[in-house]
Amino acid sequence: MAGESKRMPDKKGRFGPYGGRYVPETVIYALDELERCYRQFKKDRRFRSELKGLLADFVGRPTPLYYAERLTAFLKGPEIYFKREDLNHTGAHKINNTVGQILLAQRMGKKRIIAETGAGQHGLATATVCARFGMSCIVYMGTEDMKRQKPNVEKMRLLGAKVVPVTSGSATLKDATSEALRDWVTNVRSTFYVLGSVVGPHPYPMIVRDFQTIIGRETRRQSLRLFKTPPDAIIACVGGGSNALGIFADFLKDDQVKLIGVEAAGYGLTSGQHAAPLAKGKPGVLHGAFSYLIYDDDGQVILPHSISAGLDYPGVGPEHSLLKDSGRVTYGTVTDAEALRAFEQVSRLEGIIPALETSHALAWLMKHKRKFKKNEKIVVCLSGRGDKDMPIVASAGMLDE
Ligand SMILES: *Cc1c(COP(=O)(O)O)cnc(C)c1O
């Protein structure tokens, strides 16, 4: 697919020192099979045209690049544009990747689909494509997240998926991912694991990135039409990092385009309760890959915290670890409270309710608007819509009279 990073990862699935495959032998076989099929089908004309058709008519692409006029006026700084991934079917960027992976599963003859989910957005996007292709779908989800994201659990069940509650550990995304990997080890021949972000063992970080690069390729085309140049800066939130890499990948070679990834600082970076491995972590191994990670002196993964379930993960994709070390992408952080404020302000200024994840990117921009000149064009990746977050903001007291 055009727009993918040509060099990365290397043959061993490494982004510099990061990435790789830290998994049992049975899974190595499945990862090799997946990589072989992916490399074959990404060049296949029929595969590409089927994917293109689904992205257009099922997902609703291309998504608009929208001028946020009142937010721009309010900030009295640079010109702000939203790349509207919130308008995708199922309400976030996740579906770009799941339609791609379900086509791969179909080509590989696998009928049993498993997935992990945190916010429920990836589970929902997977359940959606499984319904569309008549495949059986099992979604692992922490019981803590099932409580926080009840509407998504109900939607997945309506679509025919089996949602399996995970009670181990913190009963959130990390634990659901471990459980999905365990299932895959046991059922590797019949099962396709649809992974939701640019994390996990090679080739997943590459495959998920490639399926998400449609965001950046459209952004380039739309920017050239609107501004006659690429944007001056692009800002995206980083959980595992798939919406960020999706919009960044096509611009990595354009050194003049500033790229900013925003992690969740939760209750604050010094509180110990955050989800900011790039800011506060060290490299280590989680879920089959070597990457920045938050863990304590005994090597135990620290329980992350973010008000946004989609960012509440102790690790980050290996390519982001390399991009941090190389300095090509700048990474910042935003607290729960700052994200909530941006959530409300953008809802009222633009008539667009952003996801709490996305609100981190918006809050970073609002906090750092002075870094930009008046006529600069800034694109924020509006990764998803905030409908799913209404119970959370209500319980945070935002909607009280
Ligand atoms: C899942 C999710 C994220 C975080 O995942 P990435 O892989 O970092 O993109 C961000 N925004 C929304 C709306 C999500 O659903």
Q: Which two tokens stand for residue 302?
A: 């620290």
Task: Report the distance separating Cα 359 and Cα 334, nearest Å.
Answer: 9
Average pLDDT of the segment spanning 172-196: 93
Query: 211 CA distance to ligand 1 centroid (A)?
Result: 14
Predicted local confidence at residue 147, as pLDDT: 86
Looking at residue 213, what DSSP letter applies? T
Q: Is the CB of 243 under 6 A from ligand 1?
A: yes
Residue 161: left if φ>0, alpha if ψ -120 to 50, beta else—which one? beta
Q: Is the CB of 355 under 6 A from ligand 1?
A: yes
Q: Which two tokens stand for residue 137?
A: 């779908």
CA 256 to chain CA centroid, Å, is 24
Choice between 362 and 170, residue whose per-residue pLDDT is larger: 362
Inter-helix orientation angle 94-107/25-41, to 10°: 100
Predicted local confidence at residue 306, as pLDDT: 94
Predicted local confidence at residue 398, as pLDDT: 84
pLDDT score of 1 more than 60: no
Task: Report the distance separating Cα 315 and Cα 15, nearest Å.
Answer: 15
Task: Report the distance separating Cα 396 and Cα 389, nearest Å.
Answer: 11
Query: 119 CA distance to ligand 1 centroid (A)?
Result: 8
Query: 244 CA distance to ligand 1 centroid (A)?
Result: 9
Catalytic residue flag (residue 258): no
Q: Is the CB of 238 under 6 A from ligand 1?
A: yes
Predicted local confidence at residue 107, as pLDDT: 96
Q: How confident is the model at residue 4 (pLDDT cuts 50, 70, 90)?
A: very low
Number of the ligand 1 atom closest to the C-alpha atom of 355? 13
Of 205, 183, 172, give the one whose Cα is nearest residue 291: 205
Query: 216 CA distance to ligand 1 centroid (A)?
Result: 15
pTM of the model: 0.96
Q: How confident is the model at residue 86 (pLDDT cuts 50, 70, 90)?
A: very high
Residue 80, H or E segment: strand 79-83
pLDDT score of 44 more than 90: yes
Q: Is the CB of 121 under 6 A from ligand 1?
A: yes
Q: In which order are the strands placed within the sheet that holds 18-19? A: 14-15, 18-19, 289-293, 282-286
Average pLDDT of the segment spanning 183-208: 96
Predicted local confidence at residue 165, as pLDDT: 97
Q: Which of 94, 110, 377, 388 is catalytic?
A: 94
pLDDT score of 2 more than 70: no
Q: Is the CB of 92 under 6 A from ligand 1?
A: yes
Q: Is the CB of 94 under 6 A from ligand 1?
A: yes
State the SS3 of 271-311: CCCCECHHHHCEEEEECCEEEEECECCCCCECCCCCCCHHH
Catalytic residue flag (residue 242): no
Q: Which two tokens stand for residue 209?
A: 């990135």
Q: Is the CB of 222 under 6 A from ligand 1?
A: no
pLDDT score of 178 more than 70: yes
Q: Which of 116, 144, 218, 357 is catalytic?
A: 116
Task: Report the distance separating Cα 117 and Cα 313, nearest Å.
Answer: 11
Q: What are the backbone dihedrals phi and psi of residue 110, each rounded to the nearest 5 degrees, phi first?
A: -95, 130
Predicted local confidence at residue 283, as pLDDT: 98
pLDDT tens digits, one per residue of 17-32: 999 999 999 899 999 9
Q: Which two tokens stand for residue 91?
A: 């309400």
Q: How confident is the model at residue 401 (pLDDT cuts 50, 70, 90)?
A: confident
Burial class (CB in 10 A: 0-12, 13-18, 19+), 149: buried
pLDDT score of 3 more than 60: no
Average pLDDT of the segment spanning 124-146: 96
pLDDT score of 157 more than 80: yes
Average pLDDT of the segment spanning 237-259: 98
Catalytic residue flag (residue 116): yes
Burial class (CB in 10 A: 0-12, 13-18, 19+), 228: exposed
Cβ atoms of 287 and 318 closer than 8 Å: no
DSSP 249-274: GGGTT-TTSEEEEEEEEET-TTTT--
Q: What are the backbone dihedrals phi and psi of residue 144, each rounded to the nearest 5 degrees, phi first?
A: -65, -45
Percent of the chain with pLDDT over 90: 90
pLDDT score of 7 more than 80: no
Query: 236 CA distance to ligand 1 centroid (A)?
Result: 9
pLDDT score of 381 more than 60: yes
pLDDT score of 302 more than 80: yes
Average pLDDT of the segment spanning 167-184: 91
pLDDT score of 309 more than 90: no
Of 135, 145, 239, 150, give the one whose Cα is nearest residue 196: 239
Percent of the chain with pLDDT over 70: 98
Q: Is the CB of 310 under 6 A from ligand 1?
A: yes
Residue nearest to atom 5 of ligand 1 (CA): 239
> Comparing 2-6, 30-34, 180-184, which segment has the lowest mean pLDDT?
2-6
